[in-house]
Amino acid sequence: MKRFTCLSILSALVLCALLAASGCSPSSGGKGAEPTSPNKPARVAKPGPYRIALVMKSLANEFFLTMQKGAEEDQKEHASEYTLICNGIKDEQDVAQQINLVEQMIAQKVDAIVIAPADSKALVGVCKRAQDADIVVVNIDNKFDDEVLKEKKIRIPFVGPDNRKGAQMAADFLASKLERDAPVAMLEGIPSAYNGQQRKLGFDDAIENAKLNLVTSQSASWEMDKANQVASSILTEHPEIQAILCANDSMALGAAAAVRAADKTGKVLICGYDGISAVEDLIRKGQILCTVQQYADRLAAFGIQYALQMLRAEIEPQDRETIVDLVTVGTLGPQ
Ligand code: ALL
């Protein structure tokens, strides 16, 4: 069995154990996320079986297809406990459609909504309406904005990784391959997504520590095509660039195509974030240096299991941190 597969299974098991333990400690101090008032103070246990809705972002992104598969597998394993409705939007920026999806789930009176919000602020209102309708809401993957949660006086637990830490891990590895002052560029996610902001900060930390020279940082909206265009123009305007740090894997794929087209594969290093299989292939081929595995398949399942615990009134809502791992040609091993 491949080394990385072993690692993944091990990490997933550790995560499962963490989340299965209802007494498990909350994520590192809540990071200033102290809610002003709890969702519904001591919930009364609801009898099952439950109807759970998973609301994702762009299903054009392999990350969310993997997430959906993981959720469906979890449902099969717990078929007597809940049924699952999976939803997603067509492109990364279709926030209105995601709000629409949540409205539909409220109208269908599901018991819980597990959501990876496309925007950290714009989805809070509709999730409050879900809570007001006595629906359990669990936030996964991309955290809601603390200020907006406070303003609306609601608490929505977050199950997901520390994106700043994860991004720094990838950028540290990339920086270890470069000299001080090396010129680099960054491709950011959608600016209104908290995880995108955190990944930028993580990249910044590593750039600062290694004293690299950040020449330009631009949003490519999480999208492969947009990243391809932005990276192509960066390579033309700044031919001295030695690396492109990408806040997700879709953008890393777009950047890798731009670097190939400029005949600079291996001369311009690329890092991504997600751990999708398409990027692992390019890491093996030497076209992308590294990515961060955030176990999309387990992420939704953890959120669902967490929602089930809330429905059974087994836990008080608290944030839970999930793990991330660096993926390089060394961790992947030979195919
Ligand atoms: C984030 C995920 C992934 C994904 C991105 C694009 O929330 O964590 O990085 O690639 O959304 O929607």
How far is the C-alpha of 94 from the C-alpha of 267, rounded, in Å? 35
* Residue 328: half-sphere exposure toward Cβ, Cα within 13 Å: 12
Write out residues with Cβ below 6 Å of ligand 1.
57-58, 61, 63, 92, 116, 141-142, 195, 222, 248, 250, 273-274
Count of CB atoms situated within 10 Å of the CB of 330: 12
Count of CB atoms situated within 10 Å of the CB of 32: 7
> Could you tell me if 152 and 128 are in contact, meaning their C-beta atoms sit under 8 angstroms apart?
yes
Q: What band does 333 get if pLDDT is binned at 50, 70 and 90?
A: confident
Report the residue among 163, 222, 225, 292 best suited for mutation to probe ligand 1: largest number of ligand atoms under 8 A from its CB: 222
Q: Is it the case that residue 10 has pLDDT exceeding 60?
A: no
- Using the structure block, give the residue that is written with the tokens 């997700």: 248
- Using the structure block, give the residue that is written with the tokens 């709890």: 38
Task: Give the CA distances from residue 110 to residues 36, 133, 302, in Å, rounded to whole numbers and listed in that order.
Answer: 26, 10, 18
Q: With H, G, I as helix, E, B as strand and everything else as coil, classify residue 159.
A: strand
Q: What angle do CA 293, 193, 108 make, to 5 degrees?
A: 95
Q: With H, G, I as helix, E, B as strand and everything else as coil, classify residue 75.
A: helix
Topology (CATH) of 163-293: Rossmann fold (3.40.50)
Q: Is it the case that residue 49 has pLDDT exceeding 90?
A: yes
> Could you tell me if 272 and 256 are in contact, meaning their C-beta atoms sit under 8 angstroms apart?
no
pLDDT digits (tens, 9 = 90+) for 271-322: 999 999 999 999 999 999 999 999 999 999 999 999 999 999 998 889 999 9
How many Å separate Cα 39 from the centre of its chain? Answer: 23
Q: What is the pLDDT of residue 316?
A: 84
Q: Is it the case that residue 28 has pLDDT exceeding 50?
A: no
Average pLDDT score over residue span 149-173: 97
User: What superfamily in CATH does domain 28-159+298-320 come from?
Assistant: Response regulator (3.40.50.2300)
Which range of 40-54, 87-101, 261-275 scores highest in mean pLDDT? It is 261-275
For the CA of 249, the nearest atom of ligand 1: 10
How far is the C-alpha of 125 from the C-alpha of 129, rounded, in Å? 6
Q: What is the pLDDT of residue 108?
A: 98
The torsion angles phi and psi of 215, rounded to 5 degrees, stand at -85, -40
**CB burial class (10 A; 0-12, 13-18, 19+) of residue 107?**
exposed
> Could you tell me if 195 and 163 are in contact, meaning their C-beta atoms sit under 8 angstroms apart?
yes
What is the residue extent of each domain of the chain? Answer: 28-159+298-320, 163-293
* Amino acid, res. 259: V
- State in Å: Cα 64 to ligand 1 middle: 8
pLDDT digits (tens, 9 = 90+) for 79-115: 999 999 999 998 888 999 999 999 999 999 999 999 9
- pTM score over 0.85: yes
In this structure, what token pair is assigned to residue 112? 């819980």
- State in Å: Cα 313 to ligand 1 middle: 30
> In the chain, what percentage of residues exceed pLDDT 90?
82
Q: Hey, what's the torsion of the CAs at 282, 287, 291, 295, to 10 degrees?
A: -10
For the CA of 195, the nearest atom of ligand 1: 7
Q: Is it the case that residue 16 has pLDDT exceeding 70?
A: no
Q: With H, G, I as helix, E, B as strand and everything else as coil, classify residue 319.
A: coil
Rg of the chain taking only CA atoms, in angstroms: 20
Q: With H, G, I as helix, E, B as strand and everything else as coil, classify residue 98.
A: helix
Q: Is it the case that residue 245 has pLDDT exceeding 50?
A: yes
> Could you tell me if 265 and 282 are in contact, meaning their C-beta atoms sit under 8 angstroms apart?
no
The H-assigned helical ranges of 108-210 are 124-132, 146-151, 163-175, 194-210
Selection from 315, 319, 310 nearest residue 48 by Cα: 310
- State in Å: Cα 311 to ligand 1 middle: 27
In this structure, what token pair is assigned to residue 262? 């400029």
- State in Å: Cα 45 to ligand 1 middle: 33
Which range of 10-24, 36-50, 314-328 scores highest in mean pLDDT? It is 314-328
What are the beta bridge partners of residue 123?
Answer: none
Answer whether 28-159+298-320 and 163-293 agree in fold: yes
Task: Give the CA distances from residue 81 to residues 13, 78, 169, 297, 312, in Å, rounded to whole numbers and listed in that order.
Answer: 21, 5, 38, 19, 11
* Amino acid, res. 327: V
Q: What is the DSSP letter of 268?
A: B
In this structure, what token pair is assigned to residue 186? 């960054």
Q: Is it the case that residue 172 has pLDDT exceeding 60?
A: yes
Report the residue among 194, 274, 279 best suited for mutation to probe ligand 1: largest number of ligand atoms under 8 A from its CB: 274
- Using the structure block, give the residue that is written with the tokens 């095509």: 225
